Amino acid sequence: MLLIPAIDLKDGHCVRLKQGDMDQATVFSDDPAEMARHWLAQGARRLHLVDLNGAFAGKPKNESAVRLILKAVRDFALANDVDEIPVQLGGGIRDLDTIERYLDAGLTYIIIGTAAVKNPGFLHDACSAFPGQIIVGLDAKDGKVATDGWSKLSGHEVIDLAKKFEDYGCESIIYTDIGRDGMMGGINIEATVRLAQSMTIPVIASGGVHNIKDVEALCAVQDEGIEAVICGRSIYEGTLDLQSAQLRADELSGDGSDRSSSGILDQEQS
């Protein structure tokens, strides 16, 4: 079970939202690149970036901050003699040119959310053009998929869409329960497991992580196909210590050999 720190970008700052509400943003850092270095120093093996402004605007709005983070990640890897540290980004990505530009800049994975739901043909083209590098982000409430920065609730069922996108060739699915995101009320284990059981590609859990018990609960069901969890407010407010939680997850995963599957690399920081 891989723990992935989230760096949410709003107006060039690192923030956290409550239930996706841009008016309920807590600024945790004015220097997202420094925040990336912090999480890497704490043992992060992968980073999750979100362009929040981009998600609402439908086009990239924090690209300069993303590029600074990517430089910080490359510098950290070189300084510590480790292999590539994967970085994934979502928010406002609506065309193949943007995907190509971001991948050329050093991103490992591109997350497509709203555009996947509204324009499945675009997702199909993206999966074909960039195999192994497209992740679909499905944000849901009460089993229904939300779009446009969670501001609109569609009539689509999560599992139905996930199966469709799996057929397109996406790398994995990030499943976020938006009713829990930023609230630290615990992961929706039941819904996440139900989704993972219906898929053959990995599911990444997101939304509601509060403490080590949530990590242990996910480790207990990881064999269902849940390979990672995105951590946000909990690691910023200190209810979950990233370093010790990852060590605990490694312990519960046995020898950790499955960490290299589905693109999740086994990087050890020295």
Q: What is the 3-state secondary structure (H, E, C) of 207-232?
A: CCCCCHHHHHHHHHCHHHCEEEEEEC
Q: How far is CA 68 from CA 36, 47, 65, 253, in A?
A: 10, 13, 5, 33
Phi and psi, residue 8, nearest 5° = -95, 125
**What's the CA gap between 146 and 151, in Å, rounded?**
7
**Longest CA–CA separation in the chain, Å:** 48
Closest Cα partner for 227 from 171, 178, 186?
171
Q: Catalytic residue at 258?
A: no
Q: Write the single-letter amino acid at 179.
A: G
**What's the CA gap between 96 and 45, in Å, rounded?**
27
Burial class from Cβ neighbours inside 10 Å (0-12, 13-18, 19+) for residue 227 reads buried
Q: Catalytic residue at 139?
A: yes
Q: How many helices (H) and strands (E) does the chain have?
A: 11, 12
Tally the C-alpha atoms within 13 A of residue 57's C-alpha that lie toward its C-beta. Answer: 11
- Cβ atoms 135, 183 nearer than 8 A: no
Residue from 51, 139, 177, 250 carrying the catalytic annotation: 139
| Catalytically annotated residues | 8, 139
